[in-house]
Structure 1
């Protein structure tokens, strides 16, 4: 329950209306938070800077093609099903989730292919084709992943870490599970073949982490995928956004787009509402920020004396890589391309060092190619394919001027795709658009253009991340990738779950005048 301090007790009580919760940002964390608060008696207003909801899950529609801007991999459907149940509905009434198999097709630089799937026997066979001696090690790795999953996800994923004692209680479990090791080192302790080490260690990149520095807690993703599979929402991930907005509106809440928050208003150290960029103010009994956590503290709370998340600490923190994303549609179909394909470049560790440590734009790259029309042809005109290709790149500390470099980099990627999996690509493109690290900063308000917020290293996890209950301002709460438990759809949806533990039901909330 919320710890109501004497400062709040000293303020006048107001019981004339339903308590009001303002949610900043309509990414999945913010929308999930709004549904949960609405189910617990709050009148909720979601404020979104962009002209449509979704945040990083914004939807681009052009020339008959539908492009999901961001998340496309759904790995824990029950977290969405929970939100629909809170509103007395079924997810299946509004959204159709279709399993994707293989989960990912990994293509090595020499053209060799490895299909990751949820079929246990098929995976053993794939492992044996690469390295027969690693089959037993793979089985042991998966058992270890399950053990980490049971603690890291099932027990701790939606537990608020807002005191050091909460962190201290899990130290024995973290030591037992070897969370002090990195993902790559953990995998390497079970697997000898370098290719298989890459196959089993790349998952942190899906949440902004470097496998060579990310805590091995994130090895839980391997079992999470085995447990629930990988899914795609027919009509695109944006269908989930649309469905969540309808749930909020059905509860009596509102999602207001084109409404940029300029400042979180405070009184005596308590969040009391927000000021919009147009000068309008909205009063609130609680404020929930789904904005990037560093952006929230550095830009939305500029006028308070922050004790923990000072500008100095924010600037010295480690941030995830950014992304260069090229969305394009083709006049033909490439039916041999899987829904999710990872095209590895000639380097693994060296490229990641360039991105995360040296922060330079390398000459080579590894790519994630998303072809949603493999599962849902309706996302493109008849006979066409919709794609996006994503290249991990350093965030804006690299000094790259993307207004100059973007087209050159796109051409390099197009050439690589044409020479490997998409022959004659340049002649087939009919529509195109780009998203660069600069857009992550300017459009999505992400500090340094980091696509996933804080880097998920051990010293920036759990209690060490910005807390779901703000350390700086009472009645301010954080959800999304930049707080506990972290990035990825399961992470941001779980961050909204945490609110059930730290925000009182509306009828129990003491009102602020």
Structure 2
């Protein structure tokens, strides 16, 4: 059988492994950490449980596609809870907006701020539906690794206003400042700056309405374990605690396998890298094998912001919070400029709070919170190293701001357990260049054809995950796995017939029941 090595057991790597196994390849996944998930990790602090990375599920049909390849269904494997509201957005003037993803309820919220904006909202959703159906529904499944294929769709993208920023696009429909924030902040979910991220990324409110915003009972850990289970059910191997030190190439410069930190060499016909794309090219490939253009692109690219993450076990409940709560700064535009283009300092803080015990009681004791606090911060290329004193000072600033400005009274005194991550952990643990939380920033000139291709340009090396097309976020990463497995299959067909393998696997499973 054709052997494929997948570097990294994050969502992208596991999803690619499922697709490749179902297509008839032999797949080994090598993961540096001792458990699957990558950025989608989990943490336990006594009786408190936390997701440490992504926390919400949109387009669960993409997960169901993977389950179907293993002859099961998402419904059989996982319990999803649709969140109502999907999230609450709190503003610095003390008001809030609950986003439901349901027309009547959303229009009622909009009317509280500007009744005249209700028909504009309907027009906005119609416009974003058109963008979604073409740019995401169709084009996100295309590899865009040739300039010709990209140029063919440029007129269409311009007609969809892809050249405009999300913020400007939202401003065509919403003049009221609160509403313009509500309908433009979504690129931050994938590391983008709403002031320059392409209007293509305005699709999120429509996407959230399409299949809802969900929480997996048990957290994202349950989703990661499901994908790992599918890999093993299809006959794949996952090796944990196995960091890759280099990608092996042959005399022609084609990929020949990987070398692990323990000295093992794993030969392979192809390598699918779910590792950080910049780290893969700049650190894991032999210098002579690095494509010059890609090396220069990654060395000079714009990288996403990073995150400061504080995980708190809290001996009280905050009823003003919802499962997902976003707290906006007073000066939204200034915050974005400082975050992405400033000198590393922030005059204000914005927050994303995850309070899963409001939905799943197993995350904290009764009347307690397992509170995940995320603050967007500049990446290490702008700030340099975080000293122990800077960590302490930033943590104090986070707690003081939440207590004094945003109504989380008594937070500091109620803390019974805590842990934190800074951009340095993104760099040192997850091996992300500059400690960027979402790899490359999704600008127009770092998307589609201008993003590292799923085919790397090196024979036998393929990229999957946030750093390649179509981009970050759970839907984008799962779609990248679909694109990458498809182009790999076109380049290196499996040596054995898929139907024969499927029949053999079914026979094995029946024999063990």
TM-score, scaled relative to structure 2:
0.94
Superposition deviation, residue 379 in structure 1:
1.2
Contact 2:24–2:494 (8 Å) recurs in 1: no
- The equivalent of 2:38 in structure 1 is 55
Superposition deviation, residue 476 in structure 1:
0.9
Q: 1:408 aligns with which of 387, 393, 407?
A: 393
CA RMSD of aligned residues (A): 1.5
Partners of 1:121 and 1:369 in 2: CA distance: 26
Pick closer, same or farther for the CA change 1:407–1:364 going to 2, 3 Å: same
1:150 aligns with 2:136: no
Q: 1:182 aligns with which of 165, 176, 180?
A: 165
Q: Which runs of 5+ in 2 are unaligned?
A: 497-513
Contact 1:402–1:438 (8 Å) recurs in 2: yes
Superposition deviation, residue 503 in structure 1:
1.8
1:20 aligns with 2:3: yes
Pick closer, same or farther for the CA change 1:182–1:362 going to 2, 3 Å: same
Aligned residues: 493
Partners of 2:298 and 2:489 in 1: CA distance: 29
- The equivalent of 1:14 in structure 2 is none
Partners of 2:448 and 2:20 in 1: CA distance: 23
Q: 3-state DSSP class of the match of 1:468?
A: coil
Pick closer, same or farther for the CA change 1:394–1:359 going to 2, 3 Å: farther
Q: 3-state DSSP class of the match of 1:355?
A: helix
Partners of 1:299 and 1:507 in 2: CA distance: 25
1:399 aligns with 2:388: no
Pick closer, same or farther for the CA change 1:101–1:298 going to 2, 3 Å: same
Write the mapping of 1:253-268 to structure 2, written as runs, cut at 5 A: 253-267=236-250, 268=252
Q: 1:483 aligns with which of 447, 464, 468?
A: 468
Pick closer, same or farther for the CA change 1:399–1:500 going to 2, 3 Å: closer
- The equivalent of 1:318 in structure 2 is 302
Q: 3-state DSSP class of the match of 1:273?
A: strand
Pick closer, same or farther for the CA change 1:309–1:96 going to 2, 3 Å: farther
Q: 2:374 aligns with which of 386, 390, 401?
A: 390
Superposition deviation, residue 501 in structure 1:
2.5
Q: Which runs of 5+ in 1 are unaligned?
A: 1-17
Write the mapping of 1:7-406 to structure 2, written as runs, cut at 5 A: 18-267=1-250, 268-404=252-388, 405-406=390-391
Superposition deviation, residue 399 in structure 1:
2.6
Superposition deviation, residue 373 in structure 1:
0.8
Contact 2:247–2:255 (8 Å) recurs in 1: yes
Superposition deviation, residue 342 in structure 1:
0.6
Superposition deviation, residue 406 in structure 1:
1.4
Partners of 1:486 and 1:388 in 2: CA distance: 24
Contact 2:357–2:369 (8 Å) recurs in 1: yes
TM-score, scaled relative to structure 1:
0.94
CA deviation string 1:178-235 (max 9, x = no partner): 1000000001011111111111000000000000010000011121011111000011
Contact 1:334–1:422 (8 Å) recurs in 2: yes
Partners of 2:2 and 2:488 in 1: CA distance: 12
Superposition deviation, residue 409 in structure 1:
0.7
